[in-house]
Structure 1
Amino acid sequence: VNRLETMGTNDREREEFTAIIDKETERLSELTGKLMSATKETDERRGRILSIHSVIRDAIELLPKPPSGSMGIKTFFNARPDTVRGNLAQIHQVFLNLLVNAVESMPDGGELTIVTGNSVFEIPYNIAENSVKPGRYVWGSVKDSGRTLSDHEVKNIFRPFLKAGRAGAGMGLGLSLVQRLVTKHDGFIHVESEEGEGTTFTLYLPEELPLDESKSRKKQLPRGDETILVVDDEPHIRTVLNSMLGYLGYEVLLASNGAEAIEILRCNETSVDLVLLDIIMPEMGGEEAYRNIKNISPAVKVVLSTGYARDQVLSDLLQKGADALVRKPYAVGTISQVIRDTLDSKE
């Protein structure tokens, strides 16, 4: 506009600048409309069923560009859709604040990864400093490739006006508001930051399944007759899974570590349909075992299993091609459905 005011009578230049103004006005109008639709919702306690993936997509569209360099965005939407009840404006604000925080931590550009999934906790559980109530949860993680946070910064990251020293990330009320809104929705959030891996924020929100779906899951469990290789270093978990999967009709092979799993797979390469792979194990851990499994049998399906592995590790393995994730402690309804869905998937 200022340039137009100082411009002469060159009609062509005026047309070019007018077109630019029209285009930017239209873009800002679209963004304003999305913000208005997100904020006009009343602050009801129960809210409504949300499409968590649509909320994340809308938040991504509102992201600022990094000051310099380029930024890649990867999304891996694995959660069941439309199963979170909450206030649209507040959940939108949560993800937008996390995404903006991630972008600000990468002033020279980098990579932003968003992953969603489902977890079931059947008993009270502790993750970091969070006390988790039993139940179904939808989780979403936001990972950046910015500077690694110190232990002190991680511990205090949700304090108002904390300056985390990541080009503005962690400053002001943004992350404090995130924690407050997640807690208001009976969820929880934690953060991990490791040298060379960047920082990952993972939030959990209660999942609400339709009544008819919840009842049908209780009435009939998905079954099968395929061969499953269970890899876990804890004997009692192998015993429980052997009994549980056997009851569902599957042929079960057991391995206590990655090295043993590789030997079993070499001897049964054509008969193993799926590997249920624990991530944290001695001798050969889940990451190395996954690489070897895929080298031996590229087509075999792999479901990751973990009680509390680093979110960076899980995200990396899912990006490399792992088919699904199931978290301990196991619920028979969840693990049976995840295994059946994975076996039935075409890719």
Structure 2
Amino acid sequence: MLDSPSARILYMDDDAGLRRLLQKRLERAGYAVDTVADGEHGLAMVEGGSYEVVFVDHAMPGLGGLEVLRALQSRKQCPPVVMVTGIGSEQLAVAAMKEGAADYLVKDCEARYLDLLPAVIEKAVAQRHAEEALQAGQQEARRFSERLTTLHEVTNELTRAGNFDELCLAAVELGRSRLGFERLGLWFIGSDSTEAIGAFGVDEEGGIRDERGQHLKVSPESALGRLFRREALSELRREDPLLNDMGAPVGSGDHAVAGLWDGEKIVGCLCLDNLLTGESITERDRELLVLYASALGHLCTRKRTEAERERLATAIEQVPDTIVITDPAGTIQYVNPAFTRITGYSREEAIGENPRLLKSGQHDEDFYRELWDTLGRGEVWSGEFVNRRRDGTHYQEEAVLSPVREAGGSLVGYVAVKRDVTHERRVQKELEEQNRLATVGQLAAGIAHEFNNLLTGMMGTAQLMQIQDRLSARAEQRVAVIYEQGQRAARLISQLLDFSRKSVLVRLRPLDLVGLVRESAGLIRQRLPANVSLSIDTALRECLANADVTQVERVLENVTANAIHALRGGGELRIGVSRLTVTSEDDAPAVGMAPGNWVALSVQDNGVGMPGAVVERMFEPFYTTKDVGQGSGLGLAQVYGIVQQHQGAIQVQSAPGKGTTLTVYLPAYQVAADAQETAEPPPAEPVTLLVVEHEPRILQVLRDMLAGLGYEVLTAADDAQAAGVYDDNAERVQAAVLGVGVPGPAGWKLLQSLRLRDPSLHAVAVTGYPLREDSPSLQEPGVAAWVQTPTTMKALHDAVGKAVAARKAAAT
């Protein structure tokens, strides 16, 4: 029996009795039956009604059964038709079946055929439903096949996406427009299975929404949670909460998810719902979504890999370090631009060659054997190379060399990452040299101070003997020799102090190096052998440095002297002056040059040159390569110290047989010149001085020298004694002469104590540690002047005059 008891049946027959009989029989069986007497009315009834089965008598007036059958079959939708006839003709049955009859029923005299009617109806309806189902399946299959074809086209189109983001955007747009997915979203797994990271999706109004950067917490019970945990590759849920890109509910309905499978893992998912139309998501939709997600998973991973490779390639191309890739035989396969910039070899010149083209000859066979043994064990080798550029110059680089193996473990080549450390090593070496020389300088300064004290006593006594005693001519000659030798010793000590950066007062002034060089050229030429020429190399009319003219003259004198010595076999001496601007310390030609404006004084010779070992030690005190008696070994040490005092730098370029260029860099003049110093006139009336010095011999010499100049001298050997002497003679003392061992706060404690008693009192500082003109010690209140030992009576007289004048000025 049909599922619906009110199923309608139409019976066409010109026999009214049979029509009533059949109608009653079927109505008792639960069917609703309409009957007509001819084919024309029957067709009209079918046109206006809906029937499950139509019975047509073969022999009717007007339109016969076959004609009615043909008319019904011409309709788009025709119910099953059963041909009824009183003639049991096989030929008629075949004809009816060919015209589309669902069945053929023969009327018998006993009307037994009426008992068959329910079964015939059931059979016809079942057959009709089967045909419809088959047609629907075929139609769905054709439609799904078409969607698969479209999926293939879409996938091909997605492969042309320029980058990962373009791929994600196109996947959502094409999934909606071409594949018929309603509200589609693309999400990726975050740090773990409880987080989803957005890409693009369809919003609640049907537009495309940029959801990049959105992070959603994924519930473990949700379809997305099950998929991210790989408990399912896809899932379709009905009446599921539908969410927006923020995770907020926007409705409920069908919700399907499918994992983005890249062949190894799930990297994300496609989410589909029916929020916009409410149309059900079918199993076919879910199957297509799975196929789309799988294809997209592969594409996403490939695009991400391509992007990573592009980023890596871009980074390799832009890193400042050299990167070289070789095959297992060591043949270069790739070099980055840094290699070209550092080595001078183009990419075309390097590829196909062996890295040995960079060999400098500075490493022995053991060095390379250890390198290859390390790589042969599959280990990473790290160390430093001295390599040779294309132009023949050498450079140093830190290198890390590593074997490269494929997934199966087979060796496919080697990669070297190397950093040019030439500048760093030069800076490191120069800093070490500066530190070493500074240590030597500290020692030299201490020795010089002690010798200055000794010379003060010796030379002061000699001066007193010359002006006070009546000596024989022979004795006067001997005293003169003592004084002259003392002066010579003092000059040597001055050179030591220059090296230790504690030389005599540095008076920084605007100094025109061009003018200085041109003025000095005449004196330099007088010292040149006949086979040596001199040229001045500068296009500048003026080049101002912030420097002490006397000390720069010493620098030029000492450097040219060494250059002339290197030109014993003849040649050319060139002196250059130039300006330069340093933008960064890395670009500076020498260590210690801060960014700013500089001037350069260079002395170049094409003489014998020096090996590296000599260059490393050339600024050490008493180091010399000259023969005995041709030099003290202090000239270049003095140059080094003077340049350091000026906050300058020195660069030396030399090689045996290629000559030497020594360049001195000094800060360019920036500020106005200091006020001119005015000499104080000597005192016109007797002056009482307090002289304090802890060295008895120095104290005695200072007392005698000042007394010889006409001063009344009070002496003290320490601070406590000095305070007592001053208190006893406060009204008489007009100035103090203080021996200061090491300038600094401790050296001025006595002066501060005395100035508490008389604020107008000023002092002369006597020390073996000279000061710069801008030294804080010279700014100490009450210090009017200073004198470096060994000193002369005139220098003492001038300094005391300044102290007395300062007291008078402070008292008025």
TM-score by length of 1: 0.44
Tell which structure's C-alpha radius of gyration is larger. 2
Higher RCO (CA < 8 A, seq sep 6+): 1
